[in-house]
């Protein structure tokens, strides 16, 4: 299948370990953030979101942390599985009141058996 | 089965040809978007539509055109004026302003 990003940073983790993927966002006015997962040749899939009035949100096996002071977002995946192998990227809404999102370039997660 | 569909999955364009990419959603979302994805880059917005019969240019609209005659449909035409059309094209929709965007499966456009 086609590669989403040929020169993306790569995180390699052992199956069963926890993964942490980081994202530095650009606009201090952003108040809504989304993490997406994209497998090769497919469209991005929503994983989890967080609003700026929170600093942590948990889903099934995933946790998003938001640090507004340093404009940093992270995605933690617990007990990483082979099916988690994909490109992960964050999105910020830039300026609430617009439809324009800003998307990161992504990190490739490789799960080692 | 609710969601966003895009067709075709692969599309080949000849020099000087206009091609149209289809995007349909049955989520009853007001807003729809077209993005272009190139290797190693973040998604770039081509056009978006907040409501039927209305659309705005995104960051890279040159060489593209859209229509929004129905709430469910937001087709994208890649015209011959787009000199570097080879890319993965993604359609998305959201319930409204500032809400989560959901993506379709994408169309890969290749130039013969």
- Does residue A89 sit at the B interface (CB-CB below 8 Å)? yes
What pLDDT is attached to residue A61?
Answer: 96
Q: How many CA atoms lie within 13 A of B2 on its CB side?
A: 6
Q: What whole-number percentage of chain A has pLDDT above 90? A: 76
pLDDT tens per residue across span B20-78: 999 999 999 999 999 999 987 889 999 999 999 999 999 999 999 999 999 999 999 99
All residues at 6 or more sequence positions from B41 whose CB lies less than 8 Å from its CB, including other chains: A5, A105
> Which of B31, B100, B102 is opposite residue A99, by nearest beta carbon?
B31
Contact (CB, 8 A) for A12 and A110: yes
Starting at the edge strand that comes first in sequence, how are the strands of the sheet with A56-58 ordered? A19-24, A72-77, A62-67, A56-58
End-to-end CA distance of chain B: 35
| Distance (Å) from the alpha carbon of B72 to chain A's nearest alpha carbon | 18
Considering only alpha carbons, which residue of chain B is nearest residue A42?
A: B105
> Shortest Cα distance from B40 to chain A (angstroms)?
4
| CA–CA gap between residue A35 and residue B96 (Å, rounded) | 18
* pLDDT confidence tier of residue B112, bands split at 50, 70 and 90: confident
H-type helices in chain A, by residue range? none
3-state secondary structure of A43: coil
Q: What is the mean pLDDT of the segment spanning A41-63?
A: 96
User: Are the CB atoms for B96 and B30 separated by under 8 Å?
Assistant: yes
- Find the residue in B nearest to A103 (Cα): B42
pLDDT of A97 > 70? The answer is no
pLDDT at residue A95 is higher than 80: no
Residue among B43, B50, B97 whose CB faces A103 most closely: B43
What's the first-to-final CA gap in chain A, in angstroms? 21
Closest CB to A105: pick one of B4, B41, B101: B41
Task: Determine contact: A97 vs chain B, CB below 8 A.
Answer: yes
Average pLDDT over residues A55-78: 96
The whole-number pLDDT of residue A7 equals: 67
pLDDT band at A94 (very low <50, low <70, confident <90, very high): confident
Interface of B with A in 44-73 (CB under 8 A): 45, 48, 50, 56, 58-59
What is the full DSSP assignment across A79-103? S--GGG-EEEEEEE-SSBTBS--EE
Residue of A nearest to B104 (CA): A43
Give residue B42's pLDDT. Answer: 86
């Amino acid at each position: 299948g086609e590669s989403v990003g040929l020169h993306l940073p790569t995180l390699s983790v052992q199956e069963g370990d926890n993964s942490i993927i980081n994202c530095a966002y650009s606009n201090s006015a952003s108040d809504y953030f989304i993490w997406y997962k994209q497998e090769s040749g497919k469209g991005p899939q929503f994983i989890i979101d967080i609003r700026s009035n929170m600093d942590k949100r948990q889903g099934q096996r995933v946790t998003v942390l938001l640090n507004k002071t340093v404009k940093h977002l992270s995605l933690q995946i617990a007990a990483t599985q082979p099916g988690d192998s994909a490109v992960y990227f964050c999105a910020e809404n830039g300026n609430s009141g617009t439809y324009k999102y800003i998307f990161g370039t992504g990190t490739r997660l490789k799960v080692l058996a | 089965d609710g969601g966003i569909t895009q067709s075709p999955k692969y599309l080949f364009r000849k020099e000087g040809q206009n091609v149209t990419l289809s995007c349909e959603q049955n989520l009853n979302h007001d807003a729809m978007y077209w993005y272009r994805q190139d290797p190693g880059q973040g998604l770039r917005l081509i056009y978006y539509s907040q409501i039927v019969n209305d659309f705005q240019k995104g960051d890279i609209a040159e060489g593209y055109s859209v229509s929004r005659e129905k709430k469910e449909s937001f087709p994208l035409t890649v015209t011959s004026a787009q000199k570097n059309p080879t890319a993965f094209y993604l359609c998305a929709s959201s319930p409204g302003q500032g809400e989560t965007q959901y993506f379709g499966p994408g169309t890969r456009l290749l130039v013969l």
